[in-house]
Amino acid sequence: MFRRRLFDEFDNLFNSLINHDPFVMKGKTSKESGNDEHGDWSKETFTSEDGMIQFTTIFRTSKGDSDVSESSDIKRLKKELELAVEQQEFEQAVELRDKIKNLESNQEKISDLEKQLQESIKKQDFENAIKLRDELKKLK
């Protein structure tokens, strides 16, 4: 009889654990969305029933390629230019300024060549990839 009661207790305990999902939290979710100069965004905030737990998730969709953004090379060169000017290294500053102007004026062509280069690499057309790489080096 004791053994049977023990098994019944164990079954009750086990069933209560199965029927209770410890990872489900009750509460309310609020949603917001909008649009700004960087693109569309949406924000979802969850607050537990007791208010002790709250977390927010933000999703952003950029505007895409409509705004041509500065490449990392241009940003890096601009930082180097600022440093050269601060240190009064004017000869170096002139070279950096010219490189920046060259990159900015050829940004669209560079971007196009980089895409073509990636496609050539995917297709394993290495002869064309070499030509594209060399053209990119001339522009950069």
Residue of 54, 63, 94, 60 whose CA lies nearest to 77: 94
Q: Does the CA dihedral 105-118-70-66 come out positive or negative? A: positive
- Predicted pLDDT of residue 130: 94
Burial class (CB in 10 A: 0-12, 13-18, 19+), 73: middle
Average per-residue pLDDT for the chain: 83
Q: What is the pLDDT of residues 3-48, one digit of tens each?
A: 788 888 877 777 766 655 556 678 899 999 888 777 788 899 989 8
**pTM for this one?**
0.41
- Predicted pLDDT of residue 65: 46
